[in-house]
Copies of this chain bind each other. A is one copy, B any other.
């Protein structure tokens, strides 16, 4: 006898093109962006066409590889990483169609589209297969570093091939004793007479540190030169390719970079997380300095907004896929009788009010995540390309302020959304074959890497809120107040949205005032309040974006829904209102923790904490 229920039920993925379009048109301004000189070819119609085409590739080619990759995992075979067999053709199609280059600058083969569009592509990549998407994601970091700080020769040789996806890149920061504290790293780089360096040391947590998808892998490695100052001030950044490269780009000898082992991880099992040894076989791996000596940490910071946004987008991608699986299952699965259903009827669980709450929580949260990620992406584009310097600075400051919130809030919400996704599936959700436990496992890493969410909170209160004496925060608060004002004349359907956004802003103001007065005077108080403050602030920003979504949905309704359709406009109004009226008020439960002070946090000795 065989089991009578299906062993594999992993749901299909449909690119959320309607909601993406809604955000691009109504919450950020793609149309405005495409009027800037470098983006004139990226008009909304062209973008829409590209997104549809890319969405097809993701849905048809990448998405079916996600669960297969998780089961097979990446393996260390004869000293090299073998990725799941389905990965190579999927990656190849993505490269052959030119997609990796879309949002990079044209000088080195990029498509010159705004990063706003790149962010949308990244969402779909991560929904389709987060583990595989980490190859281009990490390459993006290496591309940014070389584009900003590499020599002309380095750009011609390396950058061009990473932009095209012909080679991938890695970021080698972490060492066993240097995780959150990057400045503690010990890898050494010794200059050679020919201008190269010899690199020796061990790096851990190197994503796609080796693989079989491309002919070469370009490692960017942080290391110390002889006599470098201690801490972050003495770090330099090097290119260390897996295969040495001739000036014409042909591959030479194998460099001395060895994969020591792969990690067994909770999730993203198909993404090879390597321990890499540099120079273990002799005098050191051959490396080239990028930019100036001792400037490595500064270079890393210039990439941080993009990289952290990238992690927020991973979280968004997972949440979207988890939601799609949950709503599909809830429409199919029948259990019990919903209120109002005829006697004897077994209802699809989507009809049960509590399941509805789960689904709307997932949907509303995912859509708020999308709005937040794309707002930050837009600000990154504006900060680079607006003609006016003051406006560029304002965009840069807003992007900086949003960075820790996007990273931490979206990733915390991905945990919540994927957890609810498992919950909607009941016992079946706990079975790996169903596929939704994978989303939950994959999501957990996003709260940790690229700076744990605790590190984000410290960044927010230590480096972002204090900018210009709090003026950046005040300017954002004023923008959000303006939305409250706009809502005051928006009529009965938005009365609750008007009320709740106003109340949330009052609570944010109170929290910020406490932080500016007391917290910033005493670092312990500020650091102790950092996490609840970050959650409170980010939830308010999400609520503000959803309040604006509600306003836009009302406008759409008035015009019959426009291209997005009346059904969509109605759904968006309800979803946005649900977020503002029912999820945003969680901020009021956080204020007490912000203002409690750090005395109790620090009152106990470590021994007392361990006393059981």
Given contacts A265-B432, A528-B356, A601-B356, contact A5 B612 (CB under 8 A): no
Q: In the complex, which residues 283-318 of chain A have their Cβ closer than 8 Å to any Cβ of chain B? A: none
- Write out, one digit per residue, whether chain A residues 339-351 have a CB within 8 A of any chain B CB (1) or not (0): 1100010101011
The answer to whether A3 touches B275, judged by C-beta atoms less than 8 angstroms apart, is yes
A528: contacting residue among B353, B432, B567, CB under 8 A = B353
B601 touches A524 (CB 8 A): no
Closest B residue to A266 by beta carbon equals B437
Say yes or no: is A582 at the interface (Cβ < 8 Å to chain B).
Answer: yes
| A253 contacts the other chain (CB 8 A) | no
Q: Contacts A430-B266, A444-B430, A448-B422 hold; do A609 and B578 have CB atoms under 8 A apart?
A: no
A209 to chain B, nearest CB (A): 13
Measured between beta carbons, the chain B residues less than 8 angstroms from A177 are 334
* Closest residue on chain B to residue A351 by CB atoms: B606
Interface range, A side: 35 or more
Partner of A433, one of B264, B330, B419: B264
- Any B CB within 8 A of the CB of A509: no
Residues of B within 8 Å of A176, CB to CB, are 3-5
Partner of A204, one of B5, B340, B523, B602: B5
When the two chains form their complex, are residues B527 and A346 in contact, meaning their CB atoms are under 8 A apart? no
User: Complex Cα distance A575/B603, Å?
Assistant: 10
Q: In the complex, which residues of chain B have a beta carbon less than 8 angstroms from the beta carbon of A609?
A: 327, 350, 359-360, 363, 571
| B4 & A354 in contact (Cβ 8 Å cutoff) | no
Q: How far is the CA of A542 from the CA of B374 in the complex (A)?
A: 39
Task: Judge whether B606 and A350 touch: CB under 8 Å.
Answer: yes
A596 touches B581 (CB 8 A): yes
Q: A280 CA to B4 CA in the complex, in Å?
A: 13
Mark contacts of A182-218 with chain B using CB atoms, 8 A cut-off: 1 yes-contact digit, 0 otherwise: 0010000000000000000010110000000000000
Interface check A357, CB cutoff 8 A: yes
CB distance from A412 to the nearest CB of B (A): 9
**In the complex the two chains form, what is the Cα distance from A575 to B609 in whole Å?**
9
A582 vs B433: C-alpha distance in the bound complex, in angstroms? 40
Interchain CA distance A348-B605 in the complex, whole Å: 12
A598 within 8 A of B: yes
Interface string of A110-149 (1 = CB under 8 A from B): 0000000000000000000000000000000000000000
User: Which A residues from 420 to 445 make CB contacts under 8 A with B?
Assistant: 422-423, 426-433, 437, 440-441, 444-445
Of B181, B265, B531, which is within 8 A of A354 by CB?
Answer: B531
Is A577 in the interface zone, CB < 8 Å from B?
yes
Q: How far is the CA of A331 from the CA of B607 in the complex (A)?
A: 9
Chain B's closest residue to A6 (CB) is: B176
Q: Is the CB of A328 within 8 A of B458?
A: no
**Chain B residues with CB below 8 A from A244, complex form:** none
Cβ of A363: which chain B residues have Cβ within 8 Å of it?
Answer: 609
Min CB distance A411 to B, Å, is: 11
User: Quick one: which of A379-433 are within 8 Å of B by CB?
Assistant: 415, 419, 422-423, 426-433
Tell me, in angstroms, the Cα distance from A444 to B419 when the chains sit together: 8
Q: A335-B180, A527-B339, A586-B589 are in contact. Are A266 and B441 (CB under 8 A)?
A: yes
Which chain B residue shows the least CB distance to A2?
A: B260
Shortest distance between the CB of A512 and any CB in chain B (Å): 18
C-alpha gap A427/B184 in the complex (Å): 16
Asked whether B263 lies within 8 Å of A612 as measured between CB atoms, the reply is no
Partner of A600, one of B355, B360, B433: B360
A564 to B, closest residue via Cβ:
B611
List chain B residues, Cβ under 8 A from A263.
430-431
**6 A–B contacts, CB within 8 A, in A order:** A3-B176, A177-B334, A179-B426, A568-B608, A571-B611, A585-B592
Seed contacts A419-B447, A429-B448, A440-B444; 6 additional CB < 8 Å A-B pairs: A1-B202, A331-B606, A339-B523, A427-B449, A581-B600, A586-B590
Give the 9 A-B residue pairs with the shortest CB-CB distance, closest first: A589-B589, A16-B612, A586-B589, A585-B592, A353-B528, A353-B527, A5-B176, A266-B437, A582-B593
Chain A interface (Cβ within 8 Å of chain B)?
1-5, 14-19, 174, 176-177, 179-181, 184, 202, 204-205, 230, 258, 260-261, 263-267, 275, 277, 280, 320, 324, 327-328, 330-331, 334-336, 339-340, 344, 346, 348, 350-360, 363, 415, 419, 422-423, 426-433, 437, 440-441, 444-445, 447-449, 452-454, 457-458, 496, 500, 523-524, 527-528, 530-532, 567-568, 570-571, 574-575, 577-578, 581-583, 585-593, 596, 598, 600-604, 606-612
